[in-house]
């Protein structure tokens, strides 16, 4: 049995790490709070993978179903065991045994933290007689890049290149709601927040407290739309909102100016995506399926879309930071609110909202992201490539989320999700779904060609 030493125990402080091995394979290391044994169980010696209240688990980094990134999985506790669910298709695995409720099994590896070697993974036999070693231990971070300053004014200052860099600083500190505020009240508060720095901070905070309170004696109350005010158009500070045709063309990425235009356009999309993800939670909180045994939305629905909102907040923060590193700032160029227009025409029907926002607009991102990343790579802009690759991988999971919940609704209502999706596109989306399609990424997210091939929306004026 090969023992692969990872790192000294005190140096591991985050929840997840990707282990890159010399044989080209990757594992995920989870560092999770030790689950207390039932009170009726006699106290025994700590397991080899436990130390100071933490337990360590290792498993293969690719889901055995379709290769989804297990480092981005959600984590739950069932029957006093940690269960991780793949972000692409929600296949669940016990992190200790690899067993799954769907009948497939993931490879897991014993972890030993009791010796002087630090954290050790028992990997198995040597690879073709060659000792396997750790090439890199990569922390998986969910941190947002929040601004440090908070003096209260919007100033312009020159950088080393003589460009104006906009410092958006806050007139007032970010306003948090009370501990007894409902999910719907929080979502409405975020939608009505115009300061982009406040919006991303509040979004991250909401997802954090929702997940922390799940499984406790005081989970967050979902609430409903009564008593909350939803804006017709979420307000924006520091940007000029224009018609889509008045937004500057991004160019081909050959110049820094062109790449700044691209990043600015993407940042605008990500900020609207925050609002779209929280809006779906509050606007459809009272949704009931059309079935004899009508059902409301399970709590997992709200968890999934708050996770999407948290991802979008992270994406906006990364893009905003990258713009500033390039000597610009978010708000330097005009923007449009085309995504919100799609939200307004689907505000009456959750099926239509998921179809158009998640399975058309988000899926279109999967098609164009690789082309955009390639432009930045050819220009030698590795920092932007890293940011865009994070966004692309996350967006596969967002399309997966949309597919999962449209499929759930259709399963309850005994309808065909492909037919429901195509019908909604024909009614609420203007023009054809344009090729080329990223068929691989779409399939990873659950969309086979039946969904989008030879499909066009309406032509002309939006139907009433």
Residue 250 in domain = yes
Residue 301 in domain = yes
Buried residues in 287-305 as b, exposed as e (16+ CB within 10 A): bebeeeeeeebeebbbbbb
Among 72, 28, 30, 71, smallest CA distance to 49 is for 30
Looking at the structure, do residues 8 and 107 belong to the same domain, yes or no?
Answer: yes
Q: Quick check: pTM over 0.75?
A: no
Spatial neighbors of 297 by CB under 8 A, at least 6 apart, are 284, 285, 287
Looking at the structure, do residues 389 and 445 belong to the same domain, yes or no?
Answer: yes
Specify the CATH number for the domain of residue 29: 2.102.10.10
Residue 165 in domain = no
Instruction: Give me the domain span that covers residue 29.
Output: 2-37+47-139
Residue 375 in domain = yes
Looking at the structure, do residues 274 and 393 belong to the same domain, yes or no?
Answer: yes
Residue 199 in domain = yes
Looking at the structure, do residues 124 and 190 belong to the same domain, yes or no?
Answer: no
Residue 147 in domain = no
First-to-final CA distance of the chain: 67
Looking at the structure, do residues 315 and 432 belong to the same domain, yes or no?
Answer: yes
Looking at the structure, do residues 120 and 196 belong to the same domain, yes or no?
Answer: no
Based on the structure, what is the number of domains in the chain? 2
Q: Are 233 and 191 in contact (CB under 8 A)?
A: no
From 83, 106, 139, give the residue that closes a domain: 139
Per-residue pLDDT of the chain (464 residues; tens, 9 = 90+): 688 888 888 888 778 899 998 888 899 999 888 886 544 444 555 578 888 888 999 999 998 887 888 988 878 888 888 899 887 777 889 999 999 988 889 999 999 998 888 899 988 755 555 688 888 888 886 667 766 543 333 333 333 333 343 444 445 789 999 999 999 999 999 999 999 999 999 999 999 899 888 878 899 999 999 889 999 999 999 898 877 776 777 777 678 899 999 999 999 999 999 999 999 999 999 999 998 899 999 999 999 999 999 999 999 999 999 999 999 999 999 999 999 999 999 999 999 999 999 999 999 999 999 999 999 999 999 999 999 998 998 898 899 999 999 999 999 999 999 999 999 999 999 999 999 999 999 998 899 999 999 999 988 655 44
């Amino acid at each position: 049995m090969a023992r692969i030493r990872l790192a000294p125990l005190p140096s591991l402080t985050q929840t997840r790490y990707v282990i890159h091995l010399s044989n080209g394979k990757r594992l995920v290391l989870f560092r999770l709070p030790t689950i207390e044994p039932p009170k009726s169980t006699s106290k025994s010696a700590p397991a080899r993978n436990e130390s100071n209240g933490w337990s360590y688990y290792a498993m293969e980094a690719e889901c055995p179903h379709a290769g989804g990134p297990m480092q981005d999985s959600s984590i739950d506790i069932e029957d006093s065991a940690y269960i991780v669910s793949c972000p692409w298709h929600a296949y669940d695995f016990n992190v200790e045994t690899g067993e799954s409720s769907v009948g497939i099994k993931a490879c897991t590896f014993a972890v030993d933290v009791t010796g002087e070697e630090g954290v050790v993974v028992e990997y198995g036999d040597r690879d073709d007689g060659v000792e396997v070693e750790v090439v890199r231990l990569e922390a998986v971070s969910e941190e947002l890049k929040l601004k440090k300053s908070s003096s209260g004014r919007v100033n312009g200052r020159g950088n080393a290149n003589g460009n104006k860099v906009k410092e958006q600083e806050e007139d007032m500190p970010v306003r948090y709601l009370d501990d007894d505020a409902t999910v719907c009240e929080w979502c409405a508060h975020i939608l009505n927040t115009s300061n982009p720095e406040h919006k991303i901070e509040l979004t991250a905070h909401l997802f954090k407290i929702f997940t922390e309170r799940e499984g406790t004696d005081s989970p967050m109350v979902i609430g409903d739309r009564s008593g909350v005010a939803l804006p017709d158009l979420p307000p924006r500070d520091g940007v000029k909102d224009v018609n889509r045709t008045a937004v500057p063309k991004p160019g081909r990425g050959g110049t820094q100016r062109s790449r700044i235009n691209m990043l600015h356009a993407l940042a605008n999309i990500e900020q609207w995506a925050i609002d779209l993800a929280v809006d779906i939670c509050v606007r459809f909180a009272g949704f009931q399926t059309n079935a004899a045994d009508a059902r409301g939305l399970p709590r997992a629905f709200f968890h999934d879309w708050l996770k999407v909102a948290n991802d979008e907040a992270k994406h906006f923060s990364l893009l905003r930071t990258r713009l500033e590193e390039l000597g610009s700032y978010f708000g330097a160029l005009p923007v449009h609110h085309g995504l919100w227009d799609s939200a307004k025409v689907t505000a009456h029907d959750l099926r239509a909202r998921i179809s158009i926002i998640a399975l058309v607009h988000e899926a279109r991102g999967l098609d164009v992201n690789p082309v955009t990343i390639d432009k930045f790579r050819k220009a030698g802009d590795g920092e932007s490539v890293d940011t865009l690759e994070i966004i692309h991988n996350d967006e596969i999971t967002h399309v997966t989320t949309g597919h999962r919940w449209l499929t759930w609704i259709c399963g309850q209502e005994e309808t065909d999700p492909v037919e429901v999706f195509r019908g909604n596109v024909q009614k609420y989306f203007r023009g054809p779904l344009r090729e080329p399609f990223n068929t691989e990424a779409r399939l990873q997210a659950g969309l086979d060609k039946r969904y989008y091939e030879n499909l066009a929306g309406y032509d002309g004026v939006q139907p009433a």
